[in-house]
Amino acid sequence: MQKSSLISKLKKSLIKTASLALLLSSISFASCGNVYFSKISGQLQDNETDSERQGTVKVYDSSNKKLLKEIMTDSNGEFNVSLGWFYQKLILQARAIKEGESTSYVRTIEISPADAQDLTVRVVPYEDLLKKKIRLEEFVDFAQEAIGGWIRKWNLNNIEGVEIIYKNPFDGTVITKAQQDFIEKKYLDSENIGFFFEGRKIRIQKDDASTKQSEKHYSWKPTSIRERTFDMIKDIIPDKNWIVIAGFKRIILSNIDGNPAGVGLSMVDKDSYINAGMIYLRGIIGAGLLSHESEHTILGVFHSKILPPELTLMCLPIKLDKPGFADKKLAKIVNETTYMPREKIEDILGMDFYSE
């Protein structure tokens, strides 16, 4: 009697164990609400060339930033992390390594359940900074000041074109044909303003006295005093996905003393996507001024005093006639398709892992 009862209990225990094992086996390959599963895979790449990079990948429990796993990628930058258990939220950090030395900033990503497999993790390399004797912390400070803490960006594929207004409807300032041709040349030059468009050929519309209202991509409403709001000047309003360039005689801005030589503005939506841009230019249109204001408008960046004017158009007074080394590196960060609007610079240009 006792022997029969013991065998019966043992059978029930084995059935429960087998059922639990089968359940765990089945859910480890499927989504279950907001649960993060035990396997993460992907490839580590360079954000400037999109080429694979060998490096270190670390995975953390985001609730307490406890290190769960640390691995090296293979020579092709590929990684496959098995955690052995399930977590609701995870954070992945990665950096490139070459011959035992770090060669990139630390990239930090919070992983969603749907994106745990076949991740593309792009890190910002810094060998070029070291060669130019720019301190790594110094470039981070520059990016923080220029970008303003988090990214605002265009979807470059949505840009319809650049319209150069022949005659400012507010004050009558004309941009001559020669000046329009000069602007067009700089915008189509891949080593000048064209660099900001990542190889895309941008449509340039050069207005003249015969351009019909139906062909224009802006509206205008004159005001007695031009004033700066958070992201626009109220006089000329570009259509969505257009950059409009106009000349002007005098402009008054609430946050700038005097009469600036130019103003570059980005119209930013609630999701921090730039969806229109306005550039005002006064007097002689020089290459440096045009490139400077265009960088404001295309990258959504601000002035910075961290790096010298020999390296960036964003440091005044302007000494370059086209994007400098720091401007191009910044553009590669802002335009990187895996870096989303409102992402913080510290998650792209991290100095250390959480566990260090």
Same domain? 176 vs 113: no
Domain presence at residue 171: yes
Same domain? 74 vs 197: no
pTM of the model: 0.85
Same domain? 296 vs 157: yes
Q: How many CB atoms lie within 10 A of CB 60?
A: 23
192 φ/ψ angles, rounded to the nearest 5 degrees: -115, -130
Which sign, positive or negative, has the C-alpha torsion 174, 179, 181, 184? negative
Which residue range(s) make up the domain with 214?
153-300
Domain presence at residue 138: no
CA gap 240, 267 in Å, rounded: 9
Same domain? 45 vs 83: yes
Domain presence at residue 161: yes
Same domain? 108 vs 159: no
> What 8-state DSSP symbol labels residue 213?
G
Rounded average pLDDT per 10-residue block, the chain, 356 residues:
50 43 34 59 97 96 91 97 80 96 97 82 98 97 95 96 93 93 97 96 96 94 49 72 91 61 91 95 89 97 97 96 98 97 97 89
Same domain? 20 vs 123: no
Same domain? 25 vs 55: no
Give the residue from 277, 300, 323 where a domain finishes: 300
Domain presence at residue 342: no
pLDDT at position 227, please? 46
Same domain? 45 vs 26: no
Same domain? 213 vs 254: yes
CA gap 192, 330 in Å, rounded: 14
Contact in structure between 283 and 311 (CB atoms under 8 Å): no
Q: Can you list the positions of beta strands (E) in the chain?
A: 39-46, 55-61, 66-72, 78-82, 90-98, 101-102, 107-111, 119-123, 153-154, 161-164, 204-206, 218-220, 236-238, 242-247, 262-268, 273-281
Give the residue from 264, 282, 300 where a domain finishes: 300
Contact in structure between 322 and 191 (CB atoms under 8 Å): yes
Q: Can you list the positions of beta strands (E) in 66-115?
A: 66-72, 78-82, 90-98, 101-102, 107-111
Number of domains in the chain: 3
Give the residue from 259, 276, 300 where a domain finishes: 300
